[in-house]
């Protein structure tokens, strides 16, 4: 039986939150715009338009720093319900072409169109039509990458941003990957990138000179992934899923919580907020773990989790104590969250019990 050639599309909305706001208020299109928290409340930038990026404003940057770089920056609070509506509209468009849609976030998704009969099975034409429909029906732009696997499709979607399309054909994979900087490889963060550079590895061409045993010795399990990716190999499947995997809330404090007692005093309010989120998302029957996140005043972060099948303020208090004792520094952010079971898996387990 002839193996089907994989055709993967990665779609990524261009500065999604900002694009939705500019769609609804055209006056914002010509000004530097950012969506995020207030500068005087230690807010951070969630996203910004390309005008703001020209001033050096970036996602995850403290709002106060962004305003220093761009004094004329317009900062708007996020309107998450508006963004969710736009995201649902976009997902409906994707699912007109394939059932194999894997959302990564509100503004990003993989599509496997290997078996799609739309537009004579051309992944490139499908990507073009999807982008055009999103402009017409949702009013924002999307960049897309087309490639034989998820790794390359995601890189391709970023190649011609904003509002671009880039295609990597199977016969182009080897040449494309060889010149790719190792910083672009899936799973390579700053620490790993620095280690690779120290070893004299800048590109995938350099990385191919290393054997699998040597990479495993240097990088553990990641070494196997590096060995495959630098050759353009990625066997990960596009997994269609609409199941929620987690629910969380967090609070960034205007004034540092200087002692553990100050942190524990905030717990009832945070817990009540999480309870409301769990109730709203109907996930109380699917809790698998509880977790807590702390960010200290040195901007270092720690997380602690435990297994649980129900909410418990006392367990969150225990996790908070463990997390705080790791550094015992003033705290600027506390987050509470849960991990949830896949409901389908739960139903299958009950069937075979």
Binding residues for Mg(2+): 12, 107
Q: Could you tell me the two tokens for 208? A: 């191919």
- State the Cα–Cα distance between residues 144 and 142, nearest whole angstrom: 6
Looking up tokens 């996020």 gives: 78
Annotation says 175 is catalytic: no
* Half-sphere exposure for 3 (CA within 13 Å, toward CB): 4
Q: What is the largest CA-CA distance in the chain?
A: 66
What sections of the chain are H helices per DSSP? Answer: 16-24, 50-53, 63-69, 80-94, 123-137, 150-157, 173-178, 190-198, 204-207, 212-219, 221-229, 260-281, 313-325, 343-352
- State the Cα–Cα distance between residues 342 and 194, nearest whole angstrom: 37
Helix (H) or strand (E) holding 245: none
Residue 168 three-state SS: coil
Question: Do 77 and 101 form a contact (C-beta atoms < 8 A)?
Answer: no
30, 102, 108, 243: the active-site residue = 108
Report the 10 Å Cβ neighbour count for 40. 9
- State the Cα–Cα distance between residues 99 and 16, nearest whole angstrom: 23
- Among residues 292, 313, 312, which one has the least CA distance to residue 304? 292
Measured between alpha carbons, how far is residue 154 from residues 106, 162, 164, 186, 221 in Å? 16, 14, 13, 9, 22
Measured between alpha carbons, how far is residue 45 from residues 61, 159, 204 in Å? 5, 23, 32
Relative orientation angle of helices 260-281 and 313-325, to the nearest 10 degrees: 130
Q: Which residues are the active-site residues?
A: 108
């Amino acid at each position: 039986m002839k193996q089907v050639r994989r055709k993967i599309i990665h779609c990524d909305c261009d500065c999604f939150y900002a694009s939705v706001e500019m769609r609804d208020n055209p006056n914002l299109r010509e000004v530097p715009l950012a969506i995020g928290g207030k500068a005087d409340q230690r807010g951070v930038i969630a996203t910004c338009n390309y005008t703001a990026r020209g001033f050096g404003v970036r996602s995850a940057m403290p709002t106060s720093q962004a305003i220093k770089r761009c004094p004329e920056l317009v900062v708007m609070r996020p309107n998450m319900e508006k963004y969710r509506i736009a995201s649902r509209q976009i997902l409906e468009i994707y699912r007109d072409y394939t059932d194999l849609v894997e959302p990564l976030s509100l503004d990003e998704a993989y599509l496997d169109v290997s078996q799609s009969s739309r537009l004579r099975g051309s992944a490139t034409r499908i990507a073009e039509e999807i982008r055009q429909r999103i402009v017409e029906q949702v009013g924002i732009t999307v960049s897309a990458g087309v490639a034989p696997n998820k790794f390359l499709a995601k890189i391709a979607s970023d190649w011609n941003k904003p509002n671009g399309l880039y295609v990597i054909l199977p016969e182009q994979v080897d040449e494309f990957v060889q010149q790719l900087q190792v910083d672009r490889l899936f799973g390579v963060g700053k620490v790993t990138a620095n280690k690779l550079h120290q070893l004299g590895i800048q590109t995938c061409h350099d990385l191919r000179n290393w054997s699998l045993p040597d990479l495993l010795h240097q990088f553990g399990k990641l070494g196997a992934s590096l060995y495959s990716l630098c050759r353009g190999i990625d066997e990960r499947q596009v997994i269609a899923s609409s199941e929620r995997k987690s629910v969380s809330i967090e609070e960034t404090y205007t004034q540092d919580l200087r002692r553990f007692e100050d942190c524990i005093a905030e717990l009832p309010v945070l817990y009540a907020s999480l309870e409301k989120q769990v109730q709203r998302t109907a996930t109380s029957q699917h809790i698998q773990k509880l977790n807590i996140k702390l960010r200290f005043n040195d901007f270092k972060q720690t997380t602690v989790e435990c297994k649980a099948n129900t909410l418990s303020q006392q367990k969150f208090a225990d996790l908070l104590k463990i997390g705080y004792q790791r550094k015992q520094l003033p705290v600027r952010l506390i987050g509470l969250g849960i991990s949830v079971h896949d409901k389908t898996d739960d139903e299958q387990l009950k069937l075979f019990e």
